[in-house]
Amino acid sequence: MSINKVKPWRQCVIVWALVSVLFAQQQAYANPVLALAPVFEGVINRVVGKAIVMNLSERGVIYAANDAAFARTMTLVGQAANDATWASAAVTTVAAVAGAPVWLSTALGVGAIAAVGAIAWGAYQLTQNSDVSTLPNGSPSPKSLTLTPTTSTPPPQPIGNGSWSSYTSPLCNPAITTTCGMNAQLPNSLPYYTQGYPNSGTVIGCVSALDCVTQRAAAEAHFQSSAVINLNYAIAPNPVSPCLAEPCSYRITVTWDPLPGSTVSGEVIDVYPTTNSSYVPSPTTRTGTLNDIAGAITPDMLNQPLPDALLAQIANRLWQIAASNPGYNGLPYSATNPITANDISSIRSQNPDITPKWNDLVNTTPSAPSYPTVPISPDPIPVTPTNPSPVPNPNPSPVPNPSNNTQVNLGPDPGIGQPALEAIPSASDILKPLLDLFPDLRNFSMPGHSGECPRPTFDVFGKSIQMNSQCDLAEQNRAVIFSIMTVTWLVIALFIVLSA
Of the chain, the percentage scoring pLDDT greater than 90 comes to 30
pLDDT of 6 above 60: no
Return the pLDDT at 389.
40
Crossing angle of helices 478-498 and 469-476, in 10° steps, is 80
The most confident of the ranges 78-92, 132-146, 260-274 is 260-274
| Least reliable range by pLDDT among 24-28, 222-226, 328-332, 444-448 | 24-28
- Going by their DSSP bridges, the two strands 167-168 and 184-185 should be labelled as parallel
Return the pLDDT at 402.
40
Is the pLDDT higher at 88 or at 388?
Answer: 88
The candidate with the shortest Cα–Cα distance to 20, out of 214, 120, 169, 139, is: 169
Return the pLDDT at 59.
92
Is the pLDDT higher at 305 or at 452?
Answer: 305
pLDDT of 128 above 90: no
Query: Confidence band (pLDDT; 50, 70, 90) for 450?
Result: low
Return the pLDDT at 385.
58
Return the pLDDT at 10.
42
Query: Confidence band (pLDDT; 50, 70, 90) for 400?
Result: very low
Cβ(377)–Cβ(317) below 8 Å: no
Return the pLDDT at 288.
86
The rounded distance, in Å, linking the Cα atoms of 127 and 59 is 33
Return the pLDDT at 15.
39
Q: Summarize the confidence of residues 434-459 as an average pLDDT.
A: 67
Query: Confidence band (pLDDT; 50, 70, 90) for 427?
Result: confident
Query: Confidence band (pLDDT; 50, 70, 90) for 63?
Result: confident
Instruction: Give one DSSP letter per residue of 144-194, joined into a string.
Output: EEEEEESS--PPP-PPPTT----EE-TT--TTT-GGGGGSEEPPTT--EEE
Return the pLDDT at 477.
82
Of the chain, the percentage scoring pLDDT greater than 70 comes to 77
Q: Summarize the confidence of residues 36-46 as an average pLDDT.
A: 86
Return the pLDDT at 208.
92
The rounded distance, in Å, linking the Cα atoms of 323 and 341 is 21
Query: Confidence band (pLDDT; 50, 70, 90) for 130?
Result: low
Return the pLDDT at 298.
85
Return the pLDDT at 7.
43
Q: What is the DSSP letter of 401?
A: -
Return the pLDDT at 253.
93
Query: Confidence band (pLDDT; 50, 70, 90) for 123?
Result: confident
Return the pLDDT at 199.
63
Query: Confidence band (pLDDT; 50, 70, 90) for 136?
Result: low
Task: Confirm whether pTM is higher than 0.85.
Answer: no
Cβ(148)–Cβ(127) below 8 Å: yes
Q: Summarize the confidence of residues 320-332 as an average pLDDT.
A: 93
User: What average pLDDT is seen over the chain?
Assistant: 79
Strand (E) or helix (H) holding 487? helix 478-498
The rounded distance, in Å, linking the Cα atoms of 100 and 367 is 11
Return the pLDDT at 455.
76
The rounded distance, in Å, linking the Cα atoms of 401 and 30 is 64
The most confident of the ranges 8-12, 281-285, 400-404, 467-471 is 281-285
Strand (E) or helix (H) holding 479? helix 478-498
Q: Where do the domains of the chain lie?
A: 8-29+155-275, 32-125+297-362
pLDDT of 360 above 80: yes
Return the pLDDT at 133.
60
The rounded distance, in Å, linking the Cα atoms of 31 and 24 is 13
Q: Summarize the confidence of residues 352-379 as an average pLDDT.
A: 89
Query: Confidence band (pLDDT; 50, 70, 90) for 470?
Result: confident
The rounded distance, in Å, linking the Cα atoms of 81 and 65 is 22
Query: Confidence band (pLDDT; 50, 70, 90) for 21?
Result: very low
pLDDT of 358 above 90: yes
Is the pLDDT higher at 341 or at 129?
Answer: 341
Cβ(87)–Cβ(136) below 8 Å: yes
